Amino acid sequence: MTPLLEIRDLAVHFAADEGRVEAVDGISLTVRRGEILGLVGESGSGKSVTALAVLRLIRPPGRIVRGSIRFDGRELLDLSEEAMRHVRGSQIAMIFQSPRTALNPVLPVGRQIARLFELHRGCSGHEAWQRTLEILRLVGIPEPERRASQYAHQLSGGMCQRVMIAMAVATEPRLLLADEPTTGLDVSIAAQILDLLRELGRRTGASMVLITHDLGVVAGVCDRVAVMHAGQLVECSDVHGLFKHPAHPYTRALVRSIPRVDREVTMEPIPGAVPSVLEPPPGCRYADRCPWVIDRCREVKPELLPLEHDHEVACHAVEPSNVVPARS
């Protein structure tokens, strides 16, 4: 079966006064049916830009300069704007990082959801309202009748995120792009939101891309994980394989930087600053931070190559024989 989403050699650039910002530099990535794929990397690595590119929401001065994005076998980059609006309205939904600002401040949250049922599902006013209450219940909002008539500013951050999730799943999308959905929420609320997303994915069969800068979040929720660094994809693996045998030196540093409460392992910061993606030099963008760097790294960008089953890495210095288990 074809994968639900297949990104090939996607590159997104922004024209800035200082030059060309190469935010996404030729990444290839697959999302399978029904899976949760984690997309991780430090801030600025191109995760949000990748998600926006999938929805074709990159606005000038940004531009998709090359690549292919196939959704269920259809090339999204060839669709008309109208066809693309249909995809956004009913096939692929995005959950943004700051739910409160993404919600309409002057419309009760229930009305915002009901509008989706009217617009995309052709429901009558009464039916749309009933379905709104149902979906608010589904995402764990207590007293949905009362909450539905409130405004975003009357709800807590966690509640707003639940409303956003309700809006995202109202149209029964087949792919959910969740961009740092728990940032800014406290730990216990964040855990509940992640549980909710996982449960919704399981129930609806939708695939999900969970964007996070936190590999710890990935461990409990995702099936597979793709690691981005400065606009390049450096590693892609099933979650178990990635934690057990992180291959790319950047992934190894990320794994070592996860705080552990169960063992006395100190967290290690990742050495070096995130490199600029403003007209970067050719080659691997991790080269300046990398303990394994060789000359070739600064000249030729490493390709993503299979390492073992369901595990690919883009690194000139990695060979199957030198992938050792993560420190345990």
Residue 285 interacts with, from ligand ADP, Mg ion, none (CB under 5-8 Å by kind): none
Asked if 301 and 283 count as a contact pair (C-beta separation under 8 A), the reply is yes
The residue (of 21 and 318) whose beta carbon lies closer to Mg ion is 21
Q: Are 108 and 165 in contact (CB under 8 A)?
A: no
Q: Give the helix ranges, DSSP H, for the chain.
A: 47-54, 81-90, 99-102, 109-121, 125-138, 144-148, 157-170, 187-204, 215-221, 239-244, 249-256
182 contributes a contact to Mg ion by CB under 5 A:
no
Tell whether the torsion through CA atoms of 71, 178, 55 and 286 is positive or negative: negative
Q: Does 53 bind ligand ADP (CB under 6 A)?
A: no
Report which of 196, 221, 199 is spatially closest to residue 210, judged by C-alpha positions: 221
Q: Cβ 32 to Mg ion, closest distance in Å?
A: 23
Query: How many chain residues bind ligand ADP (CB under 6 A)?
Result: 15
Task: Find the shortest distance in angstroms from Cβ 47 to Mg ion.
Answer: 5
DSSP string covering 166-202? HHHHHT--SEEEEESTTTTS-HHHHHHHHHHHHHHHH
Shortest Å, Cβ 103 to ligand ADP? 21
What element of type H or E holds 37? strand 36-40
Rg (CA), the chain: 21
Return the number of the residue (45 or 182) whose C-beta is nearest ligand ADP. Answer: 45
Helix, strand and coil in the chain, % to nearest 5: 40, 25, 40
Q: Judged by CB under 5 A, does residue 50 bind Mg ion? A: no
How many CB atoms neighbour CB 172 within 10 A? 13
Pick the stretch among 47-55, 81-89, 142-150, 303-311 that binds Mg ion (CB under 5 A): 47-55
Q: Does 232 bind ligand ADP (CB under 6 A)?
A: no
Measured in whole angstroms, the distance separating CA 107 from the mean position of its chain's CA atoms is 28
Q: Which does 252 bind (CB under 5 to 8 A by kind): Mg ion, ligand ADP, none?
A: none
Residue 197 CA to residue 208 CA, distance in Å, equals 9
Residue closer to ligand ADP, measured from CB, 20 or 120: 20
Is 150 in a helix, a strand, or coil? coil
Using the minimum distance from each CB to ligand ADP, give the nearer residue, 69 or 109: 69
Is residue 218 a contact partner of residue 239, using CB atoms and an 8 Å limit?
yes
Q: Which does 241 bind (CB under 5 to 8 A by kind): Mg ion, ligand ADP, none?
A: none
Q: Candidates 37-45, 76-84, 201-209, 265-273: pick the segment binding ligand ADP (CB under 6 A).
A: 37-45
Asked if residue 161 binds Mg ion (CB under 5 A), the reply is: no
- Of 166, 277, 284, 304, the one binding ligand ADP by CB under 6 A: 277
Q: Cβ 227 to Mg ion, closest distance in Å? A: 15
Residue listed under structure tokens 């980059």:
77
One residue of 48, 91, 161, 237 binding ligand ADP per CB under 6 A:
48
Distance CA 135, CA 233 (A): 36
Q: Which entry of Mg ion, ligand ADP, none binds 44, CB below 5 to 8 A by partner kind?
A: ligand ADP
Instruction: Tell me: does residue 175 bind ligand ADP (CB under 6 A).
Output: no
- Which one of ligand ADP, Mg ion, none interacts with residue 178, CB within 5 to 8 A by kind? none
Taking residues 7 to 36 in sequence order and writing x for each that binds ligand ADP by CB under 6 A, - otherwise, the string is -------x-x----x-x-------------
Q: List residues near ligand ADP by CB under 6 A.
A: 14, 16, 21, 23, 41, 43-49, 61-62, 277
Q: List residues near Mg ion by CB under 5 A.
A: 48
